[in-house]
Amino acid sequence: MVAGTPRVLRVMNERATLDLLTEHGALSRARIGALTGLSKPTVSQLLARLEAAGLVGPAGTSEGRPGPGARLYALRGEVAYVAALDVRPGRIRAAVADVTGTVLATHTLATPARPGPGGVPAQLTAALDGAARAAGTERPALRRVVVGTPGAFDPRTGRLRYAGHLAGWHSPGLLAEVAAALHPVPVEYENDVNLAAVAERRLGAARGHEDFVLLWNGTGLGAALVIGGRLHRGWTGGAGEIGFLPVAGTPLVRGVARTGSGGFQELAGAQALPRLAEELGVAVPQAGPEGADPADGEAVAAALLRTAAEAYTRPGGDPVPGAAEPPHEGTSSPHAGPAALLRAYAVRLATGIASLVAVLDPAVIVLTGRVLAAGGEPLLRLTEAELAELAPSRPRLLAGEVTGDPVVRGGLEAALTTVRDEVFDTAAL
């Protein structure tokens, strides 16, 4: 029992009810009473207030039990809308969700190598307009927008760092220009891998974990560091830019700020897989899935790992004969082939992960991103076995569970956290 004035208790009970409806969906008065411990009259009164405020509404009746069905109540999704954008070279993907978390629409905008008239603000506006129209609303009606980008905006200067490949995003006045273009909608920026971690913690493999690392391999290698339940961003926002990590197995890379790449990226990034495949005598696909151009390193790397994972495991789940020992790279091992490629890549991946484990000692490491997802369970288990030989502790390695676009999903979750605190505040009612 929490002591307080009747008004404070009312606000607390109403927020608890709104949170339950967010988590469970439509509920009856009896079920709300059972979950909150509130009396039936109290539940009836607070639902009446929330319905009068436009926050909840009737949602049919319960089924499956004898007798008349109980009336159900649910959040009204139209109370608030949020949006998220995943920005990558060549495209911006936008999505709009209502306050319940239901994704109403997505829209993908192709972007040129060099931004045209209006620059980045015009691109973001066009992407949001497309998603908002598809969702049946308008951009000014959005309560909050979260933008996910590679790299991070330095909190000291407001300029994007660690993402030199993102054309048009390095103007010193960019944040002010975007704010003016999207006014009055508040805009928040976050690293794309950090947003994937938000999605996995709320909806996926990292649920219930306060200390974990999310490792992403797509166009680049990156990590999100969650310590004590909070994202750790670092002094310049660059915590987790592990592609720059010097590692054994590759020459020491210098001038990383200029080249945009480092040791771990060269060892285990998408661009390393075609080279490794050639060393082991594995044919490199001339196009990735869905006709991707060979220049699309992410697609080619994913195709190589997918083929390797299929070769490593028979239909019945038994390892391919002769694939039990990792090959020596650059030799003509009799077992060199797709299965050997998978083992060799797992060694490379574990080499960098071991450094993270030694410093952070996470309980869980989530592997995700297009390239790592292609390796599936075989890559996960091989990496875990190799990591046990390299790291002093043994975190669990888990595959990411949030499908589609985890960056967008994480952006929506981040926006919803803020907006729900705003619209669920019933103190003024």
pLDDT digits (tens, 9 = 90+) for 357-369: 999 999 999 999 9
**What is the rounded CA–CA span in Å between residue 355 and residue 262?**
14
pLDDT tens digits along 249-298: 888 888 887 778 899 999 999 999 999 999 999 999 875 454 445 557 89
Residue 327 has a pLDDT of: 43
Q: Where are the alpha helices (DSSP H) in 105-191?
A: 119-134, 174-182
The closest alpha carbon to 379, from 275, 302, 321, 266, belongs to: 302
Tell me, rounded to whole angstroms, the distance of Cα 125 from its chain centroid. 22
At residue 10 the predicted structure's pLDDT band, cuts being 50, 70 and 90, is very high
**Parallel, antiparallel or unpaired: strands 103-110 and 91-98:** antiparallel
Q: If you average pLDDT over every residue of the chain, what do you get?
A: 90
pLDDT band at residue 315 under the 50/70/90 scheme: low
Q: Rounded distance, CA 372 to CA 377, Å?
A: 10
pLDDT tens per residue across span 132-150: 999 999 999 999 999 999 9
* pLDDT tens-digit map of 22-58: 999 999 999 999 999 999 999 999 999 999 999 999 9
Contact present, 399 and 370 (Cβ < 8 Å): no
Q: Do 319 and 309 touch, CB atoms closer than 8 A?
A: no
> What's the average model confidence in pLDDT over 124-129?
98
CA proximity to 356, closest of 240, 250, 234? 240
Alpha-carbon span 103 to 99, nearest angstrom: 10
pTM over 0.85: yes
Least confident of 133-142, 215-224, 306-315, 356-365: 306-315
What percent of the chain has a predicted confidence (pLDDT) above 90? 77
Strands 91-98 and 187-191: unpaired
